[in-house]
């Protein structure tokens, strides 16, 4: 069966079929109807090559002027108490917060405009990552590993696998933490293992002046079944300062984590076919389709809508009246929460 990735790049005439196939893939991965699981988009023979991506005028991930032609690197990072403080998160262009087993969360940090000296603790990938990453083309993807049943999905995904298994020399263990919270990686060394990693391209973000309206707020709390993250506006630093479990979310390099823009994206969360060794099922976060969002910038909260018709395309964020929801230039956090109450599938 032709993959969503192949369908999209073969032409607009097949776009409708691509959406249908995408819906089938997500439904199958959820395992709710007993159907055979379908893989996320494969890299395909017609996938765009890094060399043909035009250099943007401003960085599509941050709205800035640096690193316009740098490759894209995504890294999975632990986000539970034993992993704090984390390294390298403050240097990311985009930080995704995703629910994992047991109602906890994990980060996927996306780098391009700049690289930290080290990043971690690096942890394993999840199926939702493979549904988020195709919009970046074929980026380099760093993670500690995956369960055996998921390896075939990694092989078929449009990513360069630079996991610990395939790029071990780029990883190292820290002596001051216990396994599995002591694995770190050198981003520059990682990218040497993926010399053809995709360059940055439009993923739907728009940067510029804030739209009219918005509700002034001091803080916002995102909730999952077993975790909370807060974001408090700092007028002095002109960004949202993150907290984890009610305490400041500090960076290993110093300071508190947080972004100029925080997107709280409400997305349906269902049960995937995967589970951990304790029997807890891995959530599948549905990041295609449409839904609601709250965008935090400049000390205000804006009600917004998100739309992502296909996995190979980016996510458009619009205001209630349909205009582009501009982000503040700088680091963006995309906080994925269930569309409804916190839910453990």
Do the domains at 73-193 and 215-338 have one common CATH topology? yes
pLDDT at 25 over 90: no
Rg (CA), the chain: 19
Residue 279's pLDDT band (cuts 50, 70, 90): confident
pLDDT tens profile 87-106 = 999 999 999 999 999 999 99
Tell me yes or no: is domain 73-193 CATH 2.40.50.140.
Answer: no
Tell me yes or no: is domain 215-338 CATH 3.30.300.30.
Answer: no
Q: What is the pLDDT of residue 40?
A: 54
Domain segments of the chain as ranges: 73-193, 215-338
Q: What is the mean pLDDT of the chain?
A: 88
pLDDT tens profile 282-340 = 999 999 999 999 999 999 999 999 999 999 999 999 998 999 999 999 999 999 999 99
Q: What is the pLDDT of residue 36?
A: 40
pLDDT tens profile 198-250 = 999 999 999 999 999 999 999 999 999 999 999 999 999 999 999 999 999 99
pLDDT at 20 over 60: no
pLDDT at 76 over 70: yes
Q: What is the mean pLDDT of residues 135-155?
A: 96
Q: What is the pLDDT of residue 54?
A: 73
Q: What is the pLDDT of residue 71?
A: 98
Q: Which of 10-14, 127-131, 136-140 has the lowest mean pLDDT?
A: 10-14
What are the residues whose beta carbons fall under 8 Å from the beta carbon of 188, sequence distance 6 or more?
115
In 100-146 the beta strands, taken as DSSP E runs, fall at 105-111, 140-142
> Higher confidence at residue 43 or residue 194?
194
With tokens 């002591």, the residue in question is 182
- The CA-atom distances, in angstroms, between 305 and each of 19, 64, 267 are 19, 24, 11
Q: What is the mean pLDDT of residues 25-36?
A: 40
Q: What is the pLDDT of residue 278?
A: 78
Contact 310, 22 (CB under 8 A): yes
Q: Which two tokens stand for residue 223?
A: 């909730």
Q: What is the pLDDT of residue 179?
A: 95
Q: What is the pLDDT of residue 29?
A: 43
Greatest mean pLDDT range, 13-22, 49-58, 180-189 = 180-189
């Amino acid at each position: 069966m032709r993959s969503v990735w192949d369908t999209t790049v073969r032409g607009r005439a097949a776009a409708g079929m691509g959406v249908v196939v995408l819906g089938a893939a997500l439904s199958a991965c959820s395992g709710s109807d007993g159907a055979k699981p379908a893989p996320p988009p494969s890299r395909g023979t017609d996938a765009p090559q890094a060399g043909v991506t035009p250099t943007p005028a401003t960085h599509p991930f941050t709205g800035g002027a640096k690193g316009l032609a740098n490759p894209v690197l995504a890294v999975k990072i632990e986000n539970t108490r034993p992993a704090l403080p984390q390294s390298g998160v403050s240097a990311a262009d985009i930080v995704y917060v995703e629910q994992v087993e047991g109602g906890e969360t994990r980060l996927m940090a996306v780098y391009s405009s700049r690289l930290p000296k080290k990043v971690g603790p690096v942890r394993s990938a999840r199926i939702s990552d493979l549904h988020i990453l195709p919009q970046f083309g074929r980026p380099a993807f760093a993670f500690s590993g995956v369960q055996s049943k998921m390896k075939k999905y990694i092989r078929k995904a449009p990513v360069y696998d630079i996991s610990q298994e395939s790029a071990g020399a780029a990883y190292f263990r820290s002596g001051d933490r216990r396994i599995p919270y002591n694995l770190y990686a050198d981003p520059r060394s990682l990218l040497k293992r993926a010399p053809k990693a995709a360059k940055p391209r439009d993923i739907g973000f728009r940067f510029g002046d804030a739209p009219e309206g918005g509700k002034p707020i001091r803080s916002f709390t995102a909730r999952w079944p077993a975790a909370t993250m807060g974001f408090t506006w700092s007028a002095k630093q002109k960004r949202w300062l993150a907290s984890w479990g009610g305490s400041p979310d500090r960076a290993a390099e110093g300071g508190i984590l947080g972004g100029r823009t925080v997107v709280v994206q409400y997305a349906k969360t269902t049960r995937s076919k995967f589970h951990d060794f304790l029997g807890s099922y891995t959530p599948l976060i549905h990041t295609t389709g449409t839904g609601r969002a709250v965008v935090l910038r400049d000390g205000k909260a804006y009600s917004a809508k998100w739309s992502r018709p296909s996995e190979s395309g980016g996510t458009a964020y619009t205001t209630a009246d349909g205009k582009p929801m501009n982000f503040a230039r700088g680091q963006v956090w995309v906080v994925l929460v269930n569309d409804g109450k916190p839910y453990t599938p």
